[in-house]
Amino acid sequence: MSNKVTKNAKDTCDTFCYDEALVQRVQPEIEKVEGVELIFKALSDATRMKIAYALTLERELCVCDVANIIGSTTATASHHLRLLRNMKLAKYRKEGKLVFYSLADEHVQQLVSVALLHSKEA
């Protein structure tokens, strides 16, 4: 299967026209999504998505456990976890020499769960 996008004559309007009232109503609302793409960018990486999914299965995981789950070094796991934390998708706590990560809140869990559900439907 090719990822090439093919233009289908039936997927565009034959005439350029628009509903001015609709555009004026919706266009100002579009600004609300500014920055939201960064959440999806963070989760678009396969490794980070695996980590986020693992954190939906277990409420909290040690960096060493994450590394073993995804088959990476602790440095790689830590790098990805730090990025998730910086994007406010994950949080951490330190217990002695161990660092434990969890998802930041229920919304992140819902994003991951809905994405997984949607991918199974396709």
Quick check: is 101 in a domain? yes
- pLDDT tens-digit profile of 87-120? 999 999 999 999 999 999 999 999 999 999 999 9
The pLDDT of residue 5 is above 80: no
* Per-residue pLDDT at 2: 47
Quick check: is 74 in a domain? yes
Quick check: is 83 in a domain? yes
Quick check: is 15 in a domain? no
Instruction: Report the candidate in 48, 34, 43, 33 with the shortest Cα–Cα distance to residue 115.
Output: 43
What domain range includes position 64? 46-122
Quick check: is 13 in a domain? no
* Rounded CA separation 120/18 (Å): 35
Residue with tokens 């199974």: 120
Quick check: is 16 in a domain? no
Quick check: is 65 in a domain? yes
CA distances from 50 to 5, 8, 82 (A): 27, 35, 14
* CB neighbour list of residue 121: distance below 8 Å, 6 or more residues apart: none
- Please tell me which residue, 5 or 101, carries the higher pLDDT value: 101
Domains of the chain: total: 1
The CATH number assigned to the domain holding 56 equals: 1.10.10.10
Quick check: is 104 in a domain? yes
- pLDDT tens-digit profile of 24-69? 999 999 999 999 999 999 999 999 999 999 999 999 999 999 999 9
